Amino acid sequence: MNVHARLADLATLGATPDGIDRGLFTPADGAARRRFAGWARAAGFAVEQDRAGNVFARLAGGTDGPPILCGSHLDTVKQGGAYDGAFGVVGGLEALERLAASAAELRRPIEVAAWAGEEGSRFPLGCLGSSAFAGLTSLDEIEALAGDDGEPFAHALRGPHGLLADVPLRDGFPAPSAYIELHIEQGPLLERAQVRLGVVTAIAGQRRLRVSIAGQQGHAGTIPMRWRADALCAASEVVLAVERAALEVGESVATVGWLEVSPKQTNIVPGRVELRVDARSVDDDRVAEIERRIRETAGRIARARGTPIEIELVELRAAAPMDDRLREIVRAACESLVPAVLDLPSGAGHDAMCLAQIVPTAMLFVPSIGGHSHIALEKTAPDDLELGINALAAALLTADRELPLGRGTR
């Protein structure tokens, strides 16, 4: 089975009429991780998992020390596409198969990881598996998280769609020599530049806020407009304040993509709204400034409308510059295959953000048709997938030759 058939197969897991819905430790996600383990074993690679649900496939090298690691994630957002994350996992697997078939001499193992729960689409924290792996979030903290359906992580991890029954559990989270993540761009820059390979300079830092707005629930027909404390009207002002903050701060983005109205009935003045803010920039100070502005404006809205507003910072990830030397290795690998390569920042978050905190890390992108991502339309041309895999394989080989053996340091 090649990368195209594997992507098509994974796309059936969690398929809905509106896209793929493969939240962490759901039946579809469990099936995807089982598929990955099965394909890797059939290719002759040793497969292990860790206590966060990350799964690793290993191509042996001349020594048995820390590997050069590649990979990405198999979970999706709601109504997601077939390439985000999945391509880095099955593309990584295929790169290992190509290296194995090439009889290249490896000085150390090369591994591909399927990181658990990158999207934060079921549990309220992104990059769960890679965050635990890098020691940024304790396993205790992760185990205590509850999914949107109320199931605690610890329960789901030990359930039928969590840890894989027939895969050995490794001790701890042994760090690799380096990490290289292959991913679709998820934006329009490569396509517009007519360049087929991109090398990431830095991944944008991000903050996620949970905003809770308390109004006065009441009868939609009887309460005069001037005596209302409508939580949704206050929320609407907050949403616009989020947009304005990003526009005014500049070189940043901020989004409200999640909003829940309670009790959500046509003839009731909304009594409660919860919404979630996602703010990002490669400049951490700008993200901090967006949060400051949102808090200040929310305070004013709350006073003016009589609707108390609580804001909780639920996730903070610093911007992650990629490692200079490893970036050069990836760039040279790309330049050996195409006439032009684009350096570009990543506005999307990736497991590489977490790995970059502990070992030299780099990323390479292939184009997304129309820039579409986090939507079923998401697609990359088959030839570009092939090119990305060849570039990754070449970069892994050079990294193995050039980087010192042993655990990588930053």
Using CB under 5 A, list all residues that contact Mn ion: 84-85
Token couple for 396:
């892994």
Say which DSSP state 80 is in.
B
The letter for the amino acid at 265 is: Q
Quote the least distance from Cβ 369 to Mn ion, whole Å: 16
Q: What is residue 28's three-state secondary structure?
A: helix
Per-position DSSP letters for 185-224, written without gaps between them: --SSHHHHHT-S-EEEEEEPEEEEEEEEEE---EETTTS-
Nearest-CB residue for Mn ion: 85
Q: How far is the CB of 85 from ligand GLV (least distance, A)?
A: 8
Give the interface with ligand GLV as residue ranges (CB under 6 A).
Answer: 119, 126, 348-349
349 binds, among ligand GLV, Mn ion, none (CB under 5 to 8 A by kind): ligand GLV
Minimum distance of ligand GLV from residue 363's CB (angstroms): 13
CB of 345 to ligand GLV, least distance (A): 13
204 binds, among Mn ion, ligand GLV, none (CB under 5 to 8 A by kind): none
Select 111 or 119, whichever has its Cβ closest to ligand GLV.
119
Give 86 or 329: the residue with its C-beta nearer to Mn ion: 86
Nearer to ligand GLV, 70 or 329 (CB): 70
Task: Choose the one of ligand GLV, Mn ion, none that binds residue 345, judging by a C-beta under 5 to 8 angstroms depending on kind.
Answer: none
Closer residue to Mn ion (CB): 137 or 368: 368
Residue 323 binds what, of ligand GLV, Mn ion, none (CB under 5 to 8 Å, by partner type)?
Answer: none
Q: Does residue 336 sit in helix, strand or coil?
A: coil
The nearer residue to ligand GLV, 119 or 323, going by C-beta atoms, is 119
CB 74, CB 35: distance < 8 Å: no
**Spatial distance between the Cα atoms of 269 and 322, rounded to a whole number of angstroms:** 49
In whole angstroms, the minimum distance from the beta carbon of 321 to Mn ion comes to: 19
> Which residue, 305 or 350, has its beta carbon nearer to Mn ion?
350
The DSSP H or E segment spanning 157 is: helix 153-158
Task: Select the residue whose beta carbon is closest to ligand GLV and give its number.
Answer: 349
Smaller CB distance to Mn ion: residue 84 or 185?
84
Residues in the chain: 410
Quick one: which H or E segment has residue 346? Answer: strand 342-346
User: Long-range contacts made by residues 261-269, C-beta under 8 angstroms, separation at least 24?
Assistant: 261/231, 261/232, 261/235, 262/231, 263/217, 266/220, 267/219, 267/220, 267/221, 268/217, 268/218, 268/219, 268/220, 269/215, 269/216, 269/217, 269/218, 269/219, 269/220, 269/223, 269/228, 269/230
360 binds, among Mn ion, ligand GLV, none (CB under 5 to 8 A by kind): none
How many C-beta atoms lie closer than 10 Å to residue 142's C-beta? 22
Q: Cβ 320 to ligand GLV, closest distance in Å?
A: 12
Tell me the two tokens of residue 186: 């998820």
Binding-site partner at residue 400 among ligand GLV, Mn ion, none, CB < 5 to 8 Å by type: none
Residue type for 350, please? H
Closest CA to 257 of 277, 242, 274, 240: 277
Residue 30 or 126 with smaller CB distance to ligand GLV: 126
The least distance separating ligand GLV from the CB of residue 213, rounded to whole angstroms, comes to 24
- Among 408, 207, 409, 244, which residue's Cα sits nearest to residue 319? 207
Give the residue with the Cβ less far from ligand GLV, 131 or 307. 131
Choose the one of ligand GLV, Mn ion, none that binds residue 126, judging by a C-beta under 5 to 8 angstroms depending on kind: ligand GLV
Contact of residue 378 among Mn ion, ligand GLV, none (CB under 5-8 Å per partner type)? none
CB of 119 to ligand GLV, least distance (A): 6
Residue 198 Cβ vs ligand GLV, minimum distance, rounded to whole Å: 16
| Binding site partner of 117, from ligand GLV, Mn ion, none, Cβ cut-off 5-8 A by kind | none
